[in-house]
Amino acid sequence: MEWEPVIGLEIHVQLLTKSKIFSGASTAYGAEPNTQACALDLGMPGTLPVLNERAVRLAVRFGLAVEAEIARRSVFARKNYFYPDLPKGYQISQYELPVVGKGHLMIHLDGREKRIGITRAHLEEDAGKSLHEDFQGLTGIDLNRAGTPLLEIVSEPDLRSPQEAVAYMKKLHQLVVWLGISDGNMQEGSFRCDANVSVRPKGAAKFGTRTEIKNVNSFRFVERAIAYEIERQIEVLESGGTIVQETRLYDADKDETRPMRTKEEANDYRYFPDPDLLPLVISDDFIDEVRRELPELPEQRYHRFIDQYGLKPCDAEVLTATRGISDYYEQVVRESGVDPKLAANWVMVELSGALNKAGLDIVASPVSADRLAGLLKRVADNTISGKIAKQVFELMWETGKDADTLIDEKGLKQITDTGAIEKIIDEVIAANPKQVEQYRAGKDKLFGFFVGQVMKATGGKANPKQVNELLRKKLQEG
């Protein structure tokens, strides 16, 4: 039997606020345990939550970016469960009336586009964190995270492979960072994924029983965890077993999922509206104000780059991977005036290669966009060759100097004088009579040898196009 996976993702995005969603405690990462949890975060009696307006603004910004319905009235509810890192015994979340309703996101995979539905996105507070290291046989509790604002984004079960799930997760990560609503730092827990996975006979309408893989915080592990779970479920079903609805944990060391707890249903959480919080009412004016703050979205810019600059879709995708790269590329094109494809190649190959090697983000690039534009101008006006340009780029990276200064200092201007190039070609031909004879006898591959000799004699500064044309002519004359 052929099986079809059905996958939906629930992604927890930590919102970029300075204080928590219902208290004034800091959300800064890395503080000593329990130094950023106030009386409200600890669930002390007599304290009352006050909603952080910025968290609402960021949630609405996301909703507008995915063309979702923004609820004019939404409600916070208490989600009741008992964990050591949840002092109140409940989590303030949203249930039936979330702030963001149905929307969608486009993913690109293997040259095709697919629309993935977003069921909802709701605001909630994070819990604390259990600590096991440094506590022999005991568990420590750090409540610094308690009350940190999260936006939980729930997808429709539209994903049909681990690869599609990762493509969707990456697209969502790109979007929330692009919008400035989250730093997306997965190592610090700012972007975490729960994956709901089931399988069904291919073509069947009814979904199979799903399991939930909790808190996976890397793209690679999500793909591996889902792939493992799909295979596990197929093996169970084909051996006559049944799938148990449960929450599972992914063990990256063993590359397997294993049971964590029986999956709770919504009624197990005994949701009810939080009596300490008024319904959240959002006006049209507020939504319009947030809409005006929206930047050009990555999907829009991706298509514009293809249309405006004639880029291949794969190149446009690389150049819109982050807002920083995208802005950098546009500045290079605008200030250099060179062929956008030439600028794209330099950003994707030379610049990205140097950044990766140095472990730097583009905002920390030693070669700024205007400096790279200056370099490409000199390639376009034939002051230097493309090969010399790479040498100049390395010097720019090391010294911080601009291209014109380095070209003058190092004497790197390209030789374009026809007479001077011809003179060197004559010398090369005279110095290599045996190779000339072989070439004229039909050994065409030797042409590259002569080009190399001429370039070597000029220190790589001769115009390659002129060298090729003049050299071919000289060799044919014989």
Residue pLDDT, tens place only, 61-99: 999 999 999 999 999 999 998 888 899 999 999 999 999
Q: How far apart are CA 421 and CA 459, in angstroms?
A: 12
pTM of this structure: 0.86
For residue 264, the model assigns a pLDDT of 67
Which residue numbers in the chain have pLDDT < 70?
263-264, 266, 478
Tell me how crowded residue 412 is: count the other CB atoms within 10 A of its CB.
21
Number of other CB atoms surrounding residue 50 within 10 Å = 13
Per-residue confidence (pLDDT) for residue 458, from 0 to 100 = 86
**113 burial level (CB within 10 Å; 0-12, 13-18, 19+):** exposed
Cα torsion angle, 186, 190, 191, 197, sign: positive
> Which pLDDT score, from 0 to 100, does residue 371 have?
97
Q: Where are the alpha helices (H) located in 352-463, listed in sequence order?
A: 352-358, 369-380, 386-399, 403-410, 418-431, 433-440, 447-457
pLDDT tens digits along 219-248: 999 999 999 999 999 999 999 999 999 999
For 9, phi then psi, to 5°, come to -115, 140
